[in-house]
């Protein structure tokens, strides 16, 4: 049976589903228990599963991640929550130097099966300490998988797949669409395979076309821009939702670029050394001779995330559309 849920409800449903299925799954973090999390994503889990499986922790991100690693090494399946991605940095050493390395360090004898959930990105006027998009810092670390859903259906399926994956996963949740994005979500158990992107809008006809790649909340801005350029200029777009940032589905992107000859990548994070640069490089290595225009990145700026100028900082549709047009008409 399918129900209409928002992303908060879909993620809660995934956690509840897996905690009922697997008694090893433990949720921990600041205020995740009695309060239900700052965004209420874990609401009701404490009442159903009790304080041994839904653990309110001290305000210590390094301690939360360190404890989760220890739990995983002893056979549990911890799903720690970091209240905001901006707060994850006190635990960064634990993630990079311990969590990501345990399989290699132990010669494959041990693995730390940990899924770190954290809200990411702007859109709630949170300013510089509550709006960052640090995905490239984790994609760069060998041994980690990085996931960022854009809609409720994928949020449930990707989280279930992440918890069941044998390796550590960073699960970024775009808080701008926590409650804005709604969709049909099956009540039953299902997974969305990690490492698979999805073409959510396909170019039609034989005219000029552009491949647009986005993820998380920016997918909706990319879709809005694609609709605008079709209306104004007759330009068609393949719009691709990455869903899993790493390992990235470069085959789907490359196949689209070979068809359109053009690439625009959209992300909230600052431009320099953002994941968009890596995507452009991967495409150029595989499809350079198919490109009819230079690849373009539409991103946040190389500044701390602003409070008063949030809508100017974010790469919204009004910034994306002109770049699609410029690329199509190059």
Active site residues: 130
Contacts of range 185-188, beta carbons closer than 8 Å, 24 or more positions apart: 185/2, 185/3, 185/4, 185/5, 185/9, 185/10, 185/13, 185/152, 185/153, 185/156, 186/1, 186/2, 186/153, 187/1, 187/2, 187/3, 187/13, 188/1
CA pseudo-torsion sign 62, 147, 119, 11 = negative
Write out the two tokens for 100.
């990501």
* 3-class secondary structure, 63: helix
Sorted by sequence, the CB contacts under 8 Å of residue 211 that are 6+ apart come out as 237, 238, 240, 253, 256, 257, 259, 260, 262, 263, 264
């Amino acid at each position: 049976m399918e129900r209409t849920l928002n992303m908060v409800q879909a993620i809660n449903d995934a956690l509840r589903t897996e905690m009922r299925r697997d008694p090893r799954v433990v949720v921990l973090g600041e205020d995740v228990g009695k309060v239900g999390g700052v965004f209420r994503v874990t609401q009701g889990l404490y009442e159903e599963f009790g304080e041994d499986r839904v653990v309110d922790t001290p305000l210590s991100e390094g301690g939360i991640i360190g404890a989760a690693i220890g739990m995983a090494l002893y056979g549990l399946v911890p799903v720690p929550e970091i209240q905001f991605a901006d707060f994850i940095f006190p635990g960064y050493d634990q993630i990079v130097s311990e969590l990501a390395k345990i399989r290699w360090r132990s010669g494959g004898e041990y693995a730390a099966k940990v899924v770190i959930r954290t809200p990411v990105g702007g859109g709630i006027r949170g300013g510089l300490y509550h709006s960052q998009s640090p995905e490239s810092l984790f994609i760069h670390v060998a041994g980690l998988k990085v996931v960022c859903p854009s809609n409720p259906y994928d949020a449930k399926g990707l989280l279930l797949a992440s918890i069941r994956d044998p390796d550590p996963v960073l699960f970024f949740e775009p808080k701008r669409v926590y409650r804005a994005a709604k969709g049909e979500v099956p009540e039953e158990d299902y997974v969305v395979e990690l490492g698979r992107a999805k073409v959510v809008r396909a170019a039609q006809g034989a005219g000029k076309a552009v491949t647009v790649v986005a993820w998380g909340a920016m997918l909706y801005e990319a879709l809005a821009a694609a609709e605008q350029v079709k209306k104004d200029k007759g330009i068609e777009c393949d719009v691709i939702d990455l869903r899993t940032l790493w390992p990235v589905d470069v085959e789907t992107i490359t196949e689209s670029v070979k068809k359109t000859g053009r690439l625009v990548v959209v992300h909230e994070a600052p431009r320099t050394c953002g994941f968009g640069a890596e995507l452009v490089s991967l495409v150029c290595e595989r499809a350079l001779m198919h490109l009819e225009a230079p690849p373009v990145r539409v991103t946040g700026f190389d500044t701390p995330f602003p409070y008063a100028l949030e809508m100017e900082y974010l790469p919204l549709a009004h910034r994306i559309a002109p770049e699609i047009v410029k690329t199509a008409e190059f």
